[in-house]
Amino acid sequence: MDPQIRYLLSLRAIRERAKVVWDVAEAGDLTHFDLHKDRLDDVAAFVTSIIKRDFGPDKFDTIPPHGRWQHFEAGDAPRIQRMMEEWKKSGCDDSELARRLIDLFFVSVLLDAGAGNHWRYIEPQTGQKYERSEGIAVASLYMFKSLSFTASKSTEIPLVDGKGLENLTTEDLMAGFQVSEKNPILGVESRAALLRSLGKSLLSQSDVFGASGRPGNLVDYMMKTANNSLKLDVNILWDVLQDLLIPVWPKDRTMIAGFPIGDAWPLSTLQSRVELPRAGDNTGSIQPFHKLTQWLTYSLMVPFQRVLGVQWISTESLTGLPEYRNGGLFVDMGALSLKKDALHRGLKASGQELPLFDAGDDVIVEWRAMTVILLDVLYDMILSRMGQGVRLSMAQVLESGTWKAGREIAAQHRPDTKSSPILIRSDGTVF
């Protein structure tokens, strides 16, 4: 693989390219946004107050890392714990527990790219109604338990395998997610196609996922890399996930020399501002994010930790997630504002009170790049406000602070929809 392509697929590239955008922002030369650094203190104070409200004064060490696990507990129902207890009663050991959770988390995370403002899921057992990420989590859990993602329909053991995903129809997903004309979800066809592509990719990588293409076999592969220790490297997991997922993403994404590079997009702000190793290299204007892969990485780390007692190293390589809750926080609190031309174009596209852009629009790519680096800046500001002896990881700040703060400020500003302040035409595979 070309070294520059491998670089753009790396975690390092996400932060390094975003830092270039930050330098441009500080100089006041962003293409579509204005940065208001004086408002960052207000953002830090707001996020810190939410963390202290929910976990202070002495429960900061109980903050879970950002991941899918919490979404399955929507409505304060310990669904995962109850399911694990049932599995243990049937003789399931810790390794198999972890495999099943990895199976579930894999498909659930990849389905979670924004549900839109109108979709709801009614839980069959309780009649409770859930929306957005929590709704997608609960819906995917019920599909998992009903063997929707496995070809082994004769077994009562919930699994995910490549053939089962390959055979998943859009109608299957619509039924599982209770989608109808009155209950629409963004990009349902794209989500189903994504899982079918995932099935094909899993089956093509039997060295990691076995002949059946089971995501849970990642447990065995990663534990072999630990060399009889309980320390696993995030960067090894990252490379495995990128090799698996790059062929899965929609084919209209950015290509370099005919090779797809996933959630990475041209950005005018980077043009002519990145030093490249050789003449003729056209990768200098690409800003990578790999948001869903990072979200999946954060989520998969948790079962390894909680079930197998694993310690992860190189976690600082991961970045804050450039999605609409984190990004919306900075816009709603005035740290970022759209320039007049971009705002006008977005409002014209939506015909409403909020601007609308495609996911690959230069405006959205610049917004996401700023979100990555602003989360780094905010992280340090929050830690300085937390008080002596309180040390939180980025994953904990994302979970207890920025993502929750983005959701709460959105609800204050737009109580009817709770939407982002900037709307994105989603195909169900980016946000």
Give the Cα separation of 100 and 96 in Å (integer).
6
pLDDT surpassing 60 at residue 278? no
Beta strands in 124-184 (DSSP E): 129-131
66 DSSP 8-state letter:
S
High-pLDDT (> 90) share of the chain, %: 81
Q: What is the mean pLDDT of residues 356-362?
A: 94
Q: Exposed (0-12), middle (13-18) or buried (19+): which is 418, by Cβ within 10 Å?
A: middle
- Confidence (pLDDT) at 352: 87
- In contact, 260 and 245? CB cutoff 8 Å: no
119, two tokens: 């979709």
Per DSSP, 309 falls in state: -
The pLDDT tens digits for 403-431 are 999 999 999 999 998 899 999 987 666 65
Percent of the chain past pLDDT 70, that is, above it, reads 97
**For residue 318, pLDDT beyond 90:** yes
Tens digits of per-residue pLDDT, 263-277? 999 999 998 888 765
The pTM of this model reads: 0.93
pLDDT the model gives residue 251 = 78
227 has pLDDT over 90: no
Residue 113 has pLDDT above 90, yes or no: no
> How far is it, in rounded angstroms, from Cα 6 to Cα 238?
12
β-pair type (423-425, 356-358): parallel
What's the pLDDT score for residue 431? 55
**Considering the chain, what is the average pLDDT of its residues?**
93
Q: Categorize the per-residue pLDDT at 120 as very low, low, confident or very high, splitting at 50, 70 and 90.
A: very high
**CA nearest to 322, candidates 297, 299, 290:** 290
Per-residue pLDDT at 75: 92
User: What is the C-alpha separation between 269 and 369, in angstroms, rounded?
Assistant: 10
Top pLDDT among 256 and 378 is at: 378
More confident residue, 429 or 359: 359
Indicate the SS3 state at residue 303: helix
